[in-house]
Amino acid sequence: MSVAKDLDIVIIETAFDLTLENGWRAFSLPQLAHAVAEKTSMSPTLVRAHCPVKAAILSTFERHIDSLVLAEEISFTEQDTARDRIFEMLMLRLEAMQEYKPALARISRDLTLDPFSVLANGPTLLLSMSKMLNASGHSTTGLVGIAETHGLLIIWASTFRTWLTDNNPDHSLTMAALDKNLRRGKKFLNRFKAPLSLKLNPMAKSKF
């Protein structure tokens, strides 16, 4: 693991610890930098340069989760439908986030008062959804691919909210919500993409 990767993880874990103590909005970046500096050999100034805004912490976290999921040895069979594959990828993503769930729940509450971080993290999260689609065998190129990526982001956001309050060991509420959201997403995308898909490619249709 690279030094930058190690530093990213320390920043994430330190920021989440501070969040659990006083909330996402309560700790300052200088406070975070000094806390990280105590755990590493880097100076607070270098830490600040690596993480200049709080939104960068969230984006770094999303990329970290992506790397954990994509490092998994996932084997799909011919019997797996497109929705089965997407379902598997998103559940793996939630499993990778499980240890951070208490902090993520607090951050989600606090982000209602921090719209900048929400907006700034949007492109990174959208890229994460593109990675999940690609890993499940979907193309994300072209107008149809862009529409499916944005649609999956909506599905993810809704499922994520359910997951935050799902305390069942088997994550049954989360899985039920994800399945329901994927089914709704398929109907929605097929309805609004049908004219475009048929115009561009008569054989094209949503894979959800």
Which domain range does residue 173 map to? 77-200
Confidence category of residue 142, pLDDT binned at 50, 70, 90? confident
Task: Please name which of 182, 206, 185 lies closest in space to residue 194, comparing C-alpha atoms.
Answer: 206
As for how many domains the chain has, the answer is 1
Q: How far is the C-alpha of 142 from the C-alpha of 203, rounded, in Å?
A: 14
Q: How far is the C-alpha of 12 from the C-alpha of 47, rounded, in Å?
A: 12
Q: Give a yes or no: residue 147 inside a domain.
A: yes
152-157 mean pLDDT: 95
Per-residue pLDDT for 202 more than 70?
A: no
CA distances from 189 to 26, 146, 180, 185 (A): 40, 11, 14, 6
Q: What is the dihedral of CA 81, 83, 85, 87, to 10 degrees?
A: -140
Q: Give a yes or no: residue 47 inside a domain.
A: no
Q: Give a yes or no: residue 132 inside a domain.
A: yes
pTM: 0.86
Q: Give a yes or no: residue 117 inside a domain.
A: yes
187-203 mean pLDDT: 59
Query: How many CB atoms are closer than 10 A to CB 142?
Result: 14
Q: Give a yes or no: residue 31 inside a domain.
A: no
pLDDT at residue 1 in the model: 46
Task: Please name which of 160, 123, 148, 157 lies closest in space to residue 204, comparing C-alpha atoms.
Answer: 148
Residue-averaged pLDDT of the chain: 89
pLDDT tens, residue by residue, 77-132: 888 888 899 999 999 999 999 999 999 999 999 998 888 888 888 999 999 999 99
Q: Give a yes or no: residue 136 inside a domain.
A: yes
Q: How far is the C-alpha of 65 from the C-alpha of 135, rounded, in Å?
A: 14
160-169 mean pLDDT: 96
Per-residue pLDDT for 206 more than 60?
A: no
Q: What length does the chain have?
A: 208
Q: Give a yes or no: residue 140 inside a domain.
A: yes
Q: How far is the C-alpha of 85 from the C-alpha of 183, rounded, in Å?
A: 13
172-185 mean pLDDT: 94
Q: Give a yes or no: residue 10 inside a domain.
A: no
